[in-house]
Structure 1
Amino acid sequence: MKELSSAQIRQMYLDFFAQKGHDIMQSAPLVPQDDPTLLWINSGVATMKKYFDGSVVPKNHRMTSSQKSIRTNDIENVGRTARHHTLFEMLGNFSIGDYFKKEAINWAWELLTSEEWFALDPEKLYITVYPKDTDAKKIWLEAGVKEDHIYEDEDNFWDIGEGPSGPDSEIFYDRGQAMNNVAEDDPENYPGGENERYLEIWNIVFSQFNHKPDGTYEELPHKNIDTGMGLERVVSVFQNAKTNFETDLFMPLIKETEKLSGKYHYGQDSEKDISFKVIADHARAVTFAIGDGALPSNEGRGYVIRRLIRRAVMHGQKLGIDHAFLYKLVPIVGQIMESAYPEILEQAEYIEKVIRMEEDRFNETLKDGVALLDDLIAQTKAAGQTELAGAGVFKLYDTYGFPYELTLEYASDNGLGVDKAGFDAEMEKQRQRARNARSSAKSMGVQNGLLTDITTSSEYVGYSELSALGTVEDIILADELVDEAAADTTVQVIFDKTPFYAEMGGQVADKGLVKDEAGNVVAEVMDVQHAPNGQNMHTLKLRQELVKGKTYNLEVNREFHNKVKKNHTATHLLDQALRDVLGEHTHQAGSLVEPTYLRFDFTNLGAVTDEQLQQVEDIVNDKIWANLPVETVVTDLESAQKMGAIALFGDKYGDTVRVVKAGDYSMEFCGGNHVDNTNELGLFKIVSESGVGAGVRRIEAVTSKEAFEFLEQRNDLLQETAAEMKVVQLKEVPRKVEALQAQIKELEQQKQALEAKFASQQAQDIFKDIVEANGHTLIAAKVNVSGMDQLRQLADQWKEKNLSEVLVLATAPAKDKVNLIVAVSDAGVKAGIKAGDLIKEIAPLVGGGGGGRPNLAQAGGKNPAGITDALAQAKVWLENK
């Protein structure tokens, strides 16, 4: 058997069917395009549905592909079996009303057994057919399959209900009894049985019937072929791997995980091996999913990504990895798959960032959650019970962010079940009550009995006062209540009265100073958060001693506070303007109100156009210049709802609520600080708009002084541009740019014409230099052209003149850039010369890589000094062919 890498197997498959007249289709993104029936692309044929159902007619009725796919319906089996994966690649060849059984079967046998291709031993290949499909059996026999290697199986019929259906043939490879998991005389020890000896590597579906609504079948007027060969499976055959994981598709990831663990090694402990496999599998899946535009979230495909990341993190914990690590595997995934998916390495930095953020978010709570889960398991076992209590499992979900599925899996590892009914009951209770405990735990970053027991009252007066006298009620130092604290310490303090706003609803906390009676600064207010019982808890950096029971003057930083107020009011205006422009379907999905800018996240199915953004900006500025009064109404919840006030974030509200109105334009529930009149904002300017998640967009904007400075910077840039263009009037800049663009286009056309002429002149010389190698003719030369386009033009000229069997051209358009092209004539291809093979041989000599079809291949590199060696090696390769 040949020793082949996964990249070679993938390319050989595609090259084989390209020779049979198939178009090589690029792997489609994992996120389905215009197919709402699928969460993910889950097979090769999923991208071909439009051709199979006739809604789109392909330009070539023969197609082949290596399609990346995701399936998560049995995610719990990943790592526990030899061949379950979330991400996998499906090699396939498809015929849309073109060839049928004879060609499909003969080509499959040729690819698998021919010495030129996979060269598998025919004695180790077994075929299954549908009992009534006598045509298929006959064709397999004619192709060279022995009769005792063909099995009839009633399950060999592909049918998913109404629509195309038909019999299929599965191809199995005999890996030998040494690879088996059942005895040789076991009834399941046959091709198609439950065993590890006979591995299914390919399935060919003969789509010949139409399954009608009444349950009957009729012959399709145009019969189709749909095949699927799992790359991971067939690689395990060529690399003699017991499972798919011991191949070059996974082992580099497993080896890197060993380094990250520093504690465990693959192959030494079966339980730890599961974790290595899960991490390797999930690293591939989330890398490709994020690269194709999906992002972690709480629903749909975003939840799948979140679940996979969290599951990998959990298994990392089992290997002793207690820090963010999964993102470090992204470059390894990219390197493994680079030949087919170079975009992964190109996007690696972005993908790493997304995964790292998600890991960090989960790791913040994971350590405590695992400890709690271990305690729950121990208590359950000690009590002689077989299920984890629903209330305990819900606490893991609610407080520590554990998905229910992870707890279920962790419990299963320990031989326990989960009380699902009890979990569901707790979830229903949660929907009926405010989530105060969870909110305070998040905002404080600390949640313990000490804070929970503090019930001292504290009044917030910051809506009307920015300085106030406040008496120290509680001082917390190093997680203990104290009566006094010395200078140069950091403490948390509750005053009986405070003008300092505690961070909430996106508005940042106030900053300021605490002073004594004489006006001396006692402390800086670094942060203010809500304590578990709702009081404003101040984090103070002490300059002097602070004493419980003593009264101090609390002074908010007015400039900071006033800037925040302006941006908070602007946020309300922006929210309403977005609803006006985009529609009521959009709603706030998060916000941040800082003194120098505001950030607003909102739901929207697609990007916001420039025209829509301009509309939104114009509306907000119009409301600012309309001098709308900003009023606050404190009322009961029912009255506020009747007023039409907008509730945000799905928050829970008490009987008394605060509603902020900007004239008759905006009205929202809000506990934050606002200006008295919209004219205080002065000016509003959108700085950026972008996507931050599945269906979530983000706007960043500035107001007042910052908006003016932003426009000033833009004006300065325009002035500089005008000066560079030697334009006196700024309004003339656009017309000058248009003229320059036209001039550039004209010059570019002239340049291309000159390059083509120069290339043709060079061709006259290089095309004369024909050498012989092993009975083949070769032209190999370095040319001075600007890049691959010109090389292709020269290759076209060579092909028209039929000057030699092989053409190899190289150019170095820059000091660290090389372009290579290899072309092979039809006669050369028939003689067994493949451009793709030759390019792979010589490209490394210029520090690069590439590939292509048998008659044309190209490559890039970074080492121009290697061009001479590459051209010489082309001749050597032909001589040894």
Structure 2
Amino acid sequence: MQTHEIRRRFLDHFVKAGHTEVASASLIFDDPNLLFVNAGMVQFKPFFLGQQAPPYQRATSVQKCVRTGDIEEVGVTTRHNTFFQMAGNFSFGDYFKEGAITLAWELITKPLDQGGYGIDPERIWVTAYEKDPEAAEIWRRVAGIPEERIQFRDGKDNYWDMGVPGPGGPCSEIYYDRGPEFGKEGGPIVDEDRYLEIWNLVFMQDVRGELSPKLGHQPVGVLPKKNIDTGMGVERVALVLQGVDNVYETDLVRPVIAKAEELTGRPYGAGSHEDDVRFRVIADHARTAAMLIGDGVNPGNDGRGYVLRRLLRRIVRSAKLLGAEEPSMREFITVVRDTMAPSYPVLDTDFERILNVAVGEEAAFRRTLVSGEKLFETAADEVKSAGNKVIAGSEAFALHDTYGFPIDLTLEMASEAGLTVDEDGFRSLMAEQRQRAKDDAQARKQSHADLTVYKEFVDRGETEFTGFAELTSEATVLALISDGVRIPTATVGQDVEVILDRSPLYAEAGGQIADIGVITGPGLRVRVRDVQKIAKKLWVHKVTVEEGQITEGDAILAQVDANWRAGATQGHSGTHMVHAALRQVLGPNAVQAGSLNKPGYLRFDFSWQGQLSEAQRNDIEAVANEAVTANHPVNTFVTDLAKAKSMGAMALFGENYGDEVRVVEIGGPFSMELCGGTHVAHSSQIGPVTLLGESSVGSGIRRVEAFVGLDSYRYLAKERALLAGVATALKVPSEEVPGRVEQLVERLKVAEKELEQTKAAAVLAGAGAFVERAERIGGLLLVAEAAPEGVAGNDLRTLATDVRGRFGTEPAVVVLIGSADGKVPFVVSANKAAQDLGVKAGDLVAAFGPSIGGRGGGKPEMAQGSGSDASGIPAALSAVRARVAEIAG
């Protein structure tokens, strides 16, 4: 049975059992404890936490998930994926243990022609929490599973909670016996390779405190309503139903391995465990990377972006180690699209953008590998120069951590160079890094905010937003909240939160910051500083009471600051103009990756590889302003999500939209986006759009900033005044300023070059004096001196090379230590004759470096670096002389 069919049967089974089918949430979810969605229940957490009343009592979904706890273990075991599909059914205070067990058993064992999976009941084993005999009794009674195939386990295996205080409960896990060829008999407690877990049923009934029942601690309470949360691993069920040995050989994963075999010329499953792991890494990571990019993640140096970057780089590394010399990312991502798109159409509709991001990162990493190879060669030369055979673990770790150079390639290249690597030292540093990351992640984990105070109002329904039609609205004060507690009244000087039944003030969303305004009544004036949403539906006004007293139940007037709103609509509509202009100039791959707009200003982030040219920036600005001048009408309408997308409306990646969406259309096909923000009535009201600049905010993400309206005019007036001032100073008309400035810059470059030549000549003029002061130590001539003040960098290297050359074939060593800008640069140079006597520049650096707090490296004939302690220069020069004397005997 194909994986897409497994998904369909699961959803059909639960829909027929009265469940509402809910679409998968984005992998990027607004949860402070999660980097990515990692379980099917994540989007339902507000219901389980009691923060919102669920709109249905039963739900079912197939949630896309990513878990990245131990990326380096992927492929080593054959049952884990970083990306996987979690099919689940959920009950919110409806059915409980018996209902969950019955529904799961029916789907697993029901014959194929009746819509089930047709799995042999005799091969099913289950586990239950050691303190939950009720679950075991239900399995015996409902499913007829005999006592010997029901096993009890402790909380570490069979109790679930969120890792922080909140709901939790015992689990019952379903296992499939793959047969004696896969391991020992005795059930899951003996061998979890033979007995494969395919489904976990969580009976959510407890309130967990600071200490988890998973570790034997008692729950602190009982949930008012008992809930069900289950998760069936789609890939694992595919393994069972397709009769393959592991998840990497199922129908949606094996084709990527086949492509890797084709590109590398090596076979999978031919007996090389190392090769098989690399094939699995490629297949797993290619799927995960494509899904992450599809949901709007871009490679970066921290957070989600760093995870994606690691995945893509591991693909490149694995392919290289398998023998692929040419770029291969395009082929892998294409296979992922072809296999996964039937369930995830975004992989097809947004393929070019996904491909461009993945291929761009591959190209960048291949360049990193080239530079990394050079860094490795330097490190290897230093090791050999010191007469050693082992590259330090710290060096290998620096290559891996700082430069992104994989340890596998370091090991391979070390072997080719006749060296080894201190792998224990490297692994130790890696373990320390992982522990720091885990500690940091744990520190960032937080208890879920107590939103109980808002629940009553969330459950009432959405705050009526009147701001599309009016700026002043009559409203009733539903509640006043201070520090998470409802209060009956607030007086002058108090900062509180106000909940109204209706409001014209825009709550921050979609990149548009919140409105400001006032709440007034008889003898009352309250300044509204901010408006935020709770559960995406409840408007919470953050206010300061300036006059009078506000009380729950008051009838008031809520009023938006009209000037603020006018500027805000210009900024938001201007953002749409810039987005449309970007896509017109750059093409459809310039996809929104975030935005911020406020009165008079906007910034817009978009997916793009490489800096924009001046011509492109000018074209974008021109297209946006042409649309402004055209005075396009701005139309808004509400429709269903599918229809909006079919019309070509743009959506923001990572955003979870409801069934009904608001579409903002400006100029017909020119701009059409899903948007809940406030906008101008006609495009001309935006005023001039002036791009301020364009920059990088991460790998594959660019940012443009712009002024609109009066802010744009003020900026241009300031620029005009600045240009006029420069023209006056240069005594030329404004239109001639660029040419004149270019002339001055060229003259300055010539003058700087002449100055450098003069400076270099002066430095080299002193070379003869150094030669005359050379010391003879044994059969060697040594120049060990402090360099002239201010001489550093290339000048110091040039001087040392010149001095060394003046000794001809006589063995000579030159050591010059300078002092410039608070640093202590140095150069060591040894000619061929000195090297033949045993002098190596790197050895001398090791001898004197500690005296000046410095380190450096290079080759036997030349080494350089820098220190930090100029007071140690005399001691450093003495150390040089002592070391040369030792070498000279």
Residues 347-746 of structure 1 aligned to structure 2 (within 5 Å): 363=444, 366-368=445-447, 446=451, 450-451=455-456, 454-455=459-460, 458-517=463-522, 520-532=523-535, 534-543=537-546, 544-637=548-641, 640-641=644-645, 643-649=647-653, 651-654=655-658, 656-664=660-668, 665-722=670-727, 726-746=730-750
Q: CA deviation at 1:499?
A: 1.3
Q: CA deviation at 1:470?
A: 1.5
1:777 correspondence with 2:781: yes
Residue 424 of structure 1 is matched in structure 2 by none
**Which one of 422, 428, 440 corresponds to residue 313 of structure 1?**
440
Residue 852 of structure 1 is matched in structure 2 by 858
SS in 2 for 1:502: coil
Q: CA deviation at 1:92?
A: 11
8 Å CA contact 2:524–2:549 kept in 1: the answer is no
8 Å CA contact 1:91–1:229 kept in 2: the answer is no
SS in 2 for 1:711: helix
Aligned mates of 1:656, 1:465 — CA distance in 2: 23
Matched to 1:609, the amino acid is: S
Aligned mates of 2:376, 2:530 — CA distance in 1: 62
Q: CA deviation at 1:763?
A: 1.9
8 Å CA contact 1:516–1:553 kept in 2: the answer is yes
Q: CA deviation at 1:745?
A: 2.8
SS in 2 for 1:367: coil
Matched to 1:824, the amino acid is: A
CA deviations 1:521-546 (Å, max 9, x no partner) are 43111222334482433233223322
SS in 2 for 1:368: coil
8 Å CA contact 1:474–1:495 kept in 2: the answer is yes
Change (3 A) 1:49 1:791: farther
Matched to 1:830, the amino acid is: D
CA deviations 1:318-347 (Å, max 9, x no partner) are xxxx4xxxxxxxxxxxxxxxxxxxxxxxxx
Residue identity (%):
29
Matched to 1:39, the amino acid is: R
Change (3 A) 1:879 1:731: same
8 Å CA contact 1:202–1:227 kept in 2: the answer is no
Matched to 1:752, the amino acid is: E
Change (3 A) 1:837 1:522: same
Residue 7 of structure 1 is matched in structure 2 by none
Residue 240 of structure 1 is matched in structure 2 by none
Q: CA deviation at 1:703?
A: 0.9
1:793 correspondence with 2:798: yes
8 Å CA contact 2:665–2:671 kept in 1: the answer is yes
Aligned mates of 2:327, 2:636 — CA distance in 1: 61
Residue 841 of structure 2 is matched in structure 1 by 835
Residue 214 of structure 1 is matched in structure 2 by none
8 Å CA contact 1:836–1:853 kept in 2: the answer is yes
Matched to 2:663, the amino acid is: V
Residue 127 of structure 1 is matched in structure 2 by none
**Which one of 805, 816, 827 corresponds to residue 821 of structure 1?**
827
CA deviations 1:110-137 (Å, max 9, x no partner) are x99x9954699xxxxxxxxxxxxxxxxx
Q: CA deviation at 1:513?
A: 0.7
Change (3 A) 1:51 1:840: farther
Residue 69 of structure 2 is matched in structure 1 by none
RMSD (Å), alpha carbons: 4.3
**Which one of 32, 35, 39 corresponds to residue 314 of structure 2?**
39
Aligned mates of 2:864, 2:648 — CA distance in 1: 64
SS in 2 for 1:767: helix
Residues 142-157 of structure 1 aligned to structure 2 (within 5 Å): none
Aligned mates of 1:765, 1:614 — CA distance in 2: 58
Matched to 1:529, the amino acid is: Q
Matched to 2:835, the amino acid is: V
Residue 810 of structure 1 is matched in structure 2 by 816
1:280 correspondence with 2:433: yes
8 Å CA contact 1:512–1:524 kept in 2: the answer is yes
CA deviations 1:411-467 (Å, max 9, x no partner) are xxxxxxxxxxxxxxxxxxxxxxxxxxxxxx8xxx94667346651674322112111
Aligned mates of 2:636, 2:411 — CA distance in 1: 69
Aligned mates of 1:462, 1:798 — CA distance in 2: 79
Aligned mates of 1:669, 1:202 — CA distance in 2: 51
CA deviations 1:727-785 (Å, max 9, x no partner) are 33233332222222322232233233333433343222221223222442212344547
Aligned mates of 2:323, 2:779 — CA distance in 1: 43
Matched to 2:314, the amino acid is: L
Change (3 A) 1:773 1:539: same
8 Å CA contact 2:827–2:864 kept in 1: the answer is yes
Q: Which has the higher contact order (CA 8 A, sep 6+)?
A: 2
CA deviations 1:249-287 (Å, max 9, x no partner) are x4xxxxxxxxxxxxxxxxxxxxxxxxxx7443465xxxx
Residue 420 of structure 2 is matched in structure 1 by 229
Matched to 1:584, the amino acid is: P
Aligned mates of 2:464, 2:390 — CA distance in 1: 82
Matched to 1:660, the amino acid is: V
8 Å CA contact 1:722–1:730 kept in 2: the answer is yes
Aligned mates of 1:842, 1:467 — CA distance in 2: 77
8 Å CA contact 1:631–1:660 kept in 2: the answer is yes
Residues 751-770 of structure 1 aligned to structure 2 (within 5 Å): 751-770=755-774
Aligned mates of 2:655, 2:824 — CA distance in 1: 59
8 Å CA contact 1:512–1:555 kept in 2: the answer is yes
Q: CA deviation at 1:469?
A: 1.8
Q: CA deviation at 1:488?
A: 3.5
Which consecutive residues of structure 1, in runs of 5 or more, have no partner in the other structure? 1-28, 54-88, 95-106, 121-169, 171-200, 207-224, 237-243, 251-276, 284-308, 323-362, 370-440
Change (3 A) 1:591 1:228: farther
Which consecutive residues of structure 2, in runs of 5 or more, have no partner in the other structure? 1-299, 329-371, 392-407
CA deviations 1:700-725 (Å, max 9, x no partner) are 2221122223333434444454455x
8 Å CA contact 1:661–1:667 kept in 2: the answer is yes
Change (3 A) 1:744 1:848: farther
Matched to 2:590, the amino acid is: T
8 Å CA contact 2:458–2:537 kept in 1: the answer is no
Q: CA deviation at 1:481?
A: 4.5
8 Å CA contact 1:783–1:809 kept in 2: the answer is no
